[in-house]
């Protein structure tokens, strides 16, 4: 099974297609409640209620290049396989929130994967978009915000390879503190 970080990349891609300028990504690892919760929230164009209702159906897509949209239905299937679910909340003209819950200790739960590479890739490929990544474990909270990076680097473009490299390292180090270095 694929890492959860790849699902995050895919769901964030929907936000980018919906012209979002700010994408917030939350990862909550709640071992006590045996839950891992992923939330991707955007300020893109949103969906009407009828679309939201159909959005986890693999045969629903507004894409014109092929007949099935896989992103949300695959996430939904992965969550259900570990006793969880996906909830999509959206408002036309306001934005969308996708919340996926997984049983933390379910043997079917994919590992989280490389969140450092995932966020660095999202920033590198979408330099005009702001990303806020918040990750919570029993050891603490790590937060990364491209708006803070932009303030520090001033005129340098955020997609500069040195900056992207720095972002990857910064996130890796932050996650080492709250995840104890293990791959969750
Ligand atoms: N964040 C979002 N904002 C607005 N519309 C969205 C968002 N996420 C999904 N949608 C709508 O839901 C549809 C289904 O999304 P899904 O990711 O399942 O498939 P897709 O993006 O169409 O195709 P694929 O992900 O396989 O490339 C999209 O075509 C889009 O119309
Ligand atoms: Mg998609």
Q: Higher model confidence: residue 181 or residue 91?
A: 91
Residue with the smallest CA separation from ligand 1 atom 8 is 14
Residues with CB under 5 A from ligand 2 (ion): 14, 71
Domain boundaries, the chain: 4-179
Residues 65-122 pLDDT 10s? 665 557 898 899 999 999 999 999 999 999 999 999 999 999 999 999 999 999 999 9
The response to whether residue 24 sits with its C-beta less than 6 Å from ligand 1 reads: no
Other residues' Cβ atoms within 10 Å of the Cβ of residue 61? 18
Alpha-carbon span 102 to 122, nearest angstrom: 23
Q: Which fold has domain 4-179?
A: Heat Shock Protein 90 (3.30.565)
pLDDT score, position 96: 98
Contact 24, 132 (CB under 8 A): yes
Residue among 81, 77, 89 at smallest CA distance from 7: 77
Q: Write down the pLDDT at residue 70.
A: 74
Model pLDDT, residue 141: 98
Q: Which ligand is nearest to the CA of 45?
A: 1
> pTM of the full predicted structure?
0.93
pLDDT tens digits for range 131-171: 999 999 999 999 999 999 999 998 899 999 999 999 999 99
pLDDT(58) > 70: no
């Amino acid at each position: 099974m694929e890492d959860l970080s790849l699902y995050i990349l895919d769901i964030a891609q929907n936000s980018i297609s919906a012209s979002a300028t700010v994408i917030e990504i939350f990862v909550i690892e709640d071992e006590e409640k045996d839950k891992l919760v992923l939330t991707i929230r955007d300020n893109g164009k949103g969906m009407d209620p009828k679309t939201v209702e159909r959005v986890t159906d693999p045969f629903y897509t507004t894409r014109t290049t092929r007949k099935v949209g896989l992103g949300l239905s695959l996430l939904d299937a992965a969550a259900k396989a570990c006793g969880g679910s996906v909830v999509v909340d959206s408002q036309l003209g306001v934005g969308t929130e996708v919340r996926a819950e997984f049983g933390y200790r379910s043997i079917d739960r994919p590992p989280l994967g490389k969140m450092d590479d995932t966020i660095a890739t999202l920033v590198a490929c979408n330099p005009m978009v702001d990303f806020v990544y918040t990750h919570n474990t029993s050891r603490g909270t790590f937060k990364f915000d491209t708006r803070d990076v932009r303030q520090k680097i001033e005129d340098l473009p955020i997609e500069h390879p040195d900056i992207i490299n720095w972002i990857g390292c910064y996130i890796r180090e932050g996650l080492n503190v709250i995840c104890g270095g293990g791959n969750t």
